[in-house]
Amino acid sequence: MFASTTKGAPPMRVAMFGYQTWGHRTLKALLDAGHDVALVVTHPPSDHAYERIWSDSVADLAQENGIRTLLRTRPDDPELVAELKAAELDLIVANNWRTWLPPEIFELPRHGTLNVHDSLLPAYAGFSPIIWALINGEPEVGVTAHMMNDELDAGAIVAQRAVAVGPKDTATDLFHRTVELIEPITTEAIGLIAAGKVVPIPQDRTKASFFHKRAPRDSLIDWTWPAADIERLVRAQSDPYPNAFAYHRGQELRIVRASVSQGHYGGTPGRIFIREGDGVVIVAGPEARRGHSPGVVVERVRTADGTELPAADYFTTMGGYLTGDR
């Protein structure tokens, strides 16, 4: 935890780079705090599965407030650089800007560039940090405000806040909790910078990790994973995210809800084995053949046509496999 918001700090003249709900909340924080937002740069709408959700429009909010708005896929064109130079900025603030900002931009303002990232840096730099952190069983997730340098998500930390991950939390739950941190942490960090009271803390690069953007392949279940890891993957791909899935009889089958079995089950990973409680056990784990490991109790599924139903209603007979291909 870092210092609380500095009161009475002067307003800053800023430009904002951002996208989707994360950028929208950041821009709202700047406006609510009374900062002079000279320019907003955001991405055009996208058809990417992960960019159609949490998609509150940065452009719409900027235009509602009479702020000059530029749509860009990359930030390196002469028009944009010229406008940033002409704006005589105190600070650039970025959140969920999807490409690297070059030094000619992030070093331009008097105080540099503040980036707001939804992980507890230095871990989980890059893309979809909440999803990856939940899959990996991290006890906490959070939001970090840091000064930008020439390595993505690697600059010195100004402010950071964490929230605990509960045993049943989904990525959707954690999104809502962390997105609520954006406005206070942005206000806090800018207040410290404006008041000259910030003491940025360098990131420990030995603890850094960087994750790629998620694609449909990343939600495909590998039944050789331990059951607890697969259960977390299902929670990490909760609606409205693209669900974790496997193939059954040549058709895609999405796993909407699952748990770790009470019993230990042996055999080949992916085998549709036996009913337990209200669900159906799928054999899982790297040493499933030994019969010493729990399986995954699939509780609810969604078929290729979008029908959702209890797993026990879908798997009317036992046997067969959930696989990684058609």
> What are the residue ranges of CATH 3.40.50.170 in the chain?
13-211
From CA 60, how far away is CA 66, in angstroms rounded?
Answer: 10
Residue 61 host element (H or E):
helix 58-64
Q: Which residue has the tokens 């100004």?
A: 158
Q: Is 2 helix (H, G, I), strand (E, B) or coil?
A: coil
Q: Is the entire prediction scored with pTM above 0.75?
A: yes
Q: Is 304 helix (H, G, I), strand (E, B) or coil?
A: coil
Domain 216-314 homologous superfamily, CATH? Formyl transferase, C-terminal domain (3.10.25.10)
> What are the residue ranges of CATH 3.10.25.10 in the chain?
216-314
Q: What are phi and psi of 181, to 5 degrees?
A: -85, -15
Domain 13-211 homologous superfamily, CATH? Formyl transferase, N-terminal domain (3.40.50.170)
The residue count of the chain comes to 326
Q: Which neighbouring-strand residues pair with 297?
A: 259, 281
Tens of pLDDT along 11-46? 999 999 999 999 999 999 999 999 999 999 999 988
Tens of pLDDT along 137-172? 999 999 999 999 999 999 999 999 999 999 999 999
User: Of 205, 207, 188, whose CA–CA distance to 197 is shortest?
Assistant: 188
Q: Which neighbouring-strand residues pair with 23?
A: none
Cis-peptide, bond into residue 45, ω within 30° of zero: no
